[in-house]
Amino acid sequence: MVDTNISVIGLGKLGLPIVVVLAKSGFNVTGIDTNKKLVEDLNTDCFCSMEPDLLSYLRKYGSSISFTNQPSNVRNTTVSFIIVPTPSTENNMFDPSLVINAVREIGKELRDVDHKHLFVIVSTVMPGDTIDKIIPTIEDALGKKHGEGFDLCYNPEFIAIGRVIYDLENPDKVLIGSENINAANRLKDIYTDVFATNSTKPKFISVNNTEAEIIKIHINSMVTAKITYANMITDLCETFPGVDIDRVTEGVGSDYRIGNKYLTGGLGFGGPCFPRDNLATQALYIRKGLNNYKIPLDIHFFNRDIPTKVSIITKKISQDRFGGRKDLTIGVIGASYKNDTICLDESQAVSIIGYLSKIFYKVMVYQKGLSVEMLLDCMRSNLAMPHVHNVSVESDMSKIVEYSNIIILPVLDPQTIFQEFNEVISRYKIGDKYFIDCWRQMPDKPNVIKFGLYHPIRDVKLQHWAD
C-alpha cells in the first residue's frame, strides 16, 4: 500500500508542524482538531505563531493541506498521526484519555472502510498503555483485530519548542515501536520521503511498542540527569576562587563516554517535556514496585530548588550593597524556559520572578511577545500564586536597565536577547547596578555575579531576613 493521504489528529505545538512537514514532503494532509476557533483561523489565514518556519510552510504548502473539525475526514486517509495531549495526573502518570477518545472516534469512522489503516501514536504515553489500552480500544471501535484489520506504531518525536520544524526534518534518530514489521515498514516509507533530501539520514530504532515507550521517557530522564550533574558541579565550582565551571565541564565532557551536550552549568531544565517525563519515570518505577530507585525524584527536587539560589543571591546583594532595602526594583531579562520561544511551561525564570515578588520586590520583566496576563496566568497555575501585584512586563528593555537596581539574566541566548542587552547597557552607567548572570554571558566585573564562578558576595551571611 502506498500511503499518500495522511490525517493528523491534534494541531498543537507538535501536531501542526508535523502537518506542514508532511505536506512539504509531498503528502496530502488533513489536519483535524476539536478546537473550532483554531481550525477557523487556519482556514482563513488568521493563525499566528512564533514557531520558526511554521507560517511560511503553511503558506507555501497549503494547497496540500486541509483543516477540519470533522473526524469523518479520516475516511479519506490511510494513515493517522495521533498527537493529542496526555496531561500528567496527580501521581505524575500520563493520562491517555484523549488518545483513547481519538482512536475510538477514528475506529468508528473506519468501521466500514476497506483499507488497512495505520495508526501512529505520537503522544507520549506510559509504558504498557499502547498494548493494554490503546490497541484494545481500536479493536472494539473498528471491529477488527490488530495486525489483521489495522496497523499501529508508537512514534514519539524528540523536539524542542522554538525549533520544532528543524528537529522534525533533521532528527538524529526515529523511534518506531510496533508489533509487526509491516507496520514499521509503512511508517519508515513515509519518513523516507520526509528525509529524501537530507545528506545525513537518521538512524531508525525499531522495537516493540512497550520498549519504545520505555525508551522515550528514559531518554528525556537521562538528559535531565546530565543537566543536573552539570549544575551540581556548578555549585561546587562557586566555592573555589579562580575555578571556571565552563573549563571544568568542557574537560569532563571531553571524555567520549560523556560528551558536552547538555553539560553547561546554569539554571535547571524546564519546558513541556523534561520535567514531566522525569517525574513519570519515577512514577513508573513506583508502579512496578521498584521503590528503591529514587534518582528521578532527587533530580526533580534539585532542579526545583535552583531558582531559590537566585533569590538568595538577590537577598545578599540587597543586604550587603543596599542596606537590606526591600523597595528595590529587580529586572529580569527573559522569562521563557529557553531561548527562541515564549513558552513558559516549567520555566525556571518564572519561578525566579515568583520567588522575588514574594519578597515584595518590584519585578520588571522583558520578553518579546509576552503579555503580563500570560505571565501572571503561568504564575497562578504553576506557582500557586493567586495574587501578584508587583510584577510588570515591559516591551522596552531600556526601561528595565534604567530603573532596576539588580538585573537577572536567566536565559541562555547569546545571539538575540543578549545582543540587544549589550547594546542597551552600553547607553547607561551601570556601575551602581548589580547583575546575576546565570549563564556567564557578561564580561567579568565586580558587580556581576555569575553562576559557576566564585564571588565574594556569596560569603555574605544573611541575618534577620524572613524567607
SS (H, E, C) 364-403: EEECCCCCHHHHHHHHHHHCCCCCCCCEEEECCHHHHHHH
Distance (Å, whole) CA 442 – CA 418: 9
Cell triple for residue 250? 568542557
Report the share of the chain in percent with pLDDT over 70.
98
Task: State the pTM of this model.
Answer: 0.92
Residues of the chain with CATH 1.10.1040.10: 218-298
Average pLDDT, the chain: 93
The number of beta carbons lying within 10 Å of the beta carbon of residue 323 is: 7
Helix (H, G, I), strand (E, B) or coil at 356: helix
Indicate if the pLDDT at residue 369 is higher than 90.
no
Contact 152, 118 (CB under 8 A): yes
Q: Which CATH superfamily does the domain covering 307-459 fall into? A: NAD(P)-binding Rossmann-like Domain (3.40.50.720)
Task: Give per-residue pLDDT as tens, 196-225.
Answer: 999 889 999 999 999 999 999 999 999 999
The number of beta carbons lying within 10 Å of the beta carbon of residue 391 is: 22
Domain at 5-207, CATH from 3.40.50.720, 3.40.50.620, 3.90.180.10, 3.40.50.970:
3.40.50.720
Distance (Å, whole) CA 213 – CA 99: 14
Indicate if the pLDDT at residue 71 is higher than 60.
yes
Helix (H) or strand (E) run with residue 159 in it: none
> Please, what is the Cα angle at 442 between 444 and 327, to 5 degrees?
95
Task: Give per-residue pLDDT as tens, 383-398.
Answer: 777 777 799 999 999 9
Would you state the pLDDT for residue 466? 47
Would you state the pLDDT for residue 271? 93
Helix (H, G, I), strand (E, B) or coil at 369: coil
Residues of the chain with CATH 3.40.50.720: 5-207, 307-459
Q: What is the largest CA-CA distance in the chain?
A: 78
Contacts of 219 (CB under 8 A, 6+ apart): 158
Cell triple for residue 11? 494541531
Rg (CA), the chain: 24
- Band (pLDDT 50/70/90 cuts) for residue 326 is confident
Average pLDDT over residues 18-27: 97
Report the share of the chain in percent with pLDDT over 90.
81
Would you state the pLDDT for residue 397? 93
What are the CA-CA distances from residue 173 to residues 24, 168, 205 (Å)?
A: 20, 10, 7
- Band (pLDDT 50/70/90 cuts) for residue 39 is very high
- Band (pLDDT 50/70/90 cuts) for residue 412 is confident
Nearest to 442 by CA among 401, 403, 402: 401
Least confident of 194-208, 350-364, 406-420, 451-465: 451-465
Cell triple for residue 440? 556567564
Task: Give per-residue pLDDT as tens, 451-462.
Answer: 999 999 888 876
Cell match 501585584: residue? Answer: 389
In the CATH scheme, what is the code of domain 218-298? 1.10.1040.10
Task: Give per-residue pLDDT as tens, 265-287.
Answer: 999 999 999 999 999 999 999 99
- Band (pLDDT 50/70/90 cuts) for residue 415 is low
Strand order in 434-437's β-sheet? 391-394, 362-366, 329-333, 406-409, 434-437, 448-450
